[in-house]
Amino acid sequence: MSSLQGKVAVVTGASRGIGKGIALALAEQGATVYVTGRTVTPGVDPLPGTIGETASECDRRGGKGIAVAVDHSNDDQVAELFARVRNEQGRLDVLVNNAFALPDDLTDPDPFWDKPLSNWEMIDVGVRSNFVAAWHAAKLMAPQESGLIVAISGYTGVSYTYGVLFGTAKSAADRMARDMAVELKPFGVTSISLWQGLTFTERATRNLAAVDGLSGQAATLPENGCSPEYPGRVIAALATDPDLLKRTGGTFITAELGEEYGIKDIDGRSIPSLRATRGSPIWSPV
């Protein structure tokens, strides 16, 4: 039997990228995965991937994928998602808060005052959206006295990366995960934040090829990168760890947890921690 057989997960922002990789890794372990995102029709986004395609691949991996169109800036749509999970499954075991509004100019070197104020969307979908999804998830998890809420973050929580709002959003996600843990721990629910380094998503692969000098920056050295499925493998290990609650409130480097759990990437590589060069997490378990 797969390790997540009978478990239910919600992975936000899973049309493509890290969210898709996590959804596939959880499904491969037998989980039922609700795949959320805005892209439902192939070709409408410059990058490939739809929620339906991710859900279908989840099925092929041995789990069950359920595609749900959700704009995570729309509270009503998020509420409908979790009401559906409650009605169809009666439980929720894992929430991965991955949805993030990445502006097209994220990697442009311009200072913040020369970029549009609309880039504040990284706070709306990246911080506020995490809170709204966790608010609904907690209403399912606390009564069952179990569950795992994961915020996808990065070294930019302490190390300048790309711009002001990107770092602000990720550091806020770390602190939010920690303070949620304080309130969730008495109910047996774990809340953590995971620091990803370079991940070879569709967008990252495109940008590394198209943006001069990007591959030589500290945050984007290709030799340190991982596949989008690697963090999902780590999350699957976390979700089955009998001592999971001991980690609640902490911010963890995904690569270090992978080493601890003996997890390799899809190509068999061990992924290096960049703690020495990019910084250490602030928040320890509560």
| CATH number for position 81 | 3.40.50.720
Measure the CA–CA gap between 119 and 172, rounded to whole angstroms. 16
Percentage of the chain exceeding pLDDT 70: 95
- Give the integer Cα–Cα distance in Å for 83 and 70: 13
CA dihedral 37, 219, 224, 205 (to 10 degrees): 50
Structural domain contains residue 139: yes
Mean pLDDT of 35-46: 92
Q: Please give the average per-residue pLDDT across 133-160, as a whole number.
A: 97
In a domain, 89, yes or no: yes
Q: Could you read off the pLDDT of 151-201 as tens digits, one per residue?
A: 999 999 999 988 999 999 999 999 999 999 999 999 999 999 999 999 988
Residue 286 falls within a domain, yes or no? no
In angstroms and rounded to an integer, the radius of gyration of the C-alpha atoms of the chain is: 17
Least confident of 121-125, 216-220, 252-256, 274-278: 216-220
Residue 210 scores a pLDDT above 80: no
Q: To the nearest whole number, what is the mean pLDDT of the chain?
A: 94
Confidence band for 213, pLDDT divided at 50, 70 and 90 = low
Domain count, the chain: 1
pTM (2 d.p.): 0.95
* pLDDT interval class at 286 (50, 70, 90): very high
Q: In what order do the strands lie in the sheet with 94-97?
A: 64-69, 32-37, 8-11, 94-97, 148-154, 190-196, 251-253
Query: Has residue 284 been placed in a domain?
Result: no
Confidence band (pLDDT; 50, 70, 90) for 202?
confident
- What is the Cα 186 distance to its own chain's centre? 24
Confidence check: pLDDT of 89 > 90: yes
Residue 120 has pLDDT above 80, yes or no: yes
The pLDDT of residue 1? 44
In the prediction, which pLDDT does 218 show? 63
Assigned domain for 86 exists:
yes
Which of 197, 209, 196, 206 is closest to 48 using CA atoms? 206
Quote the domain boundaries for residue 12: 8-278
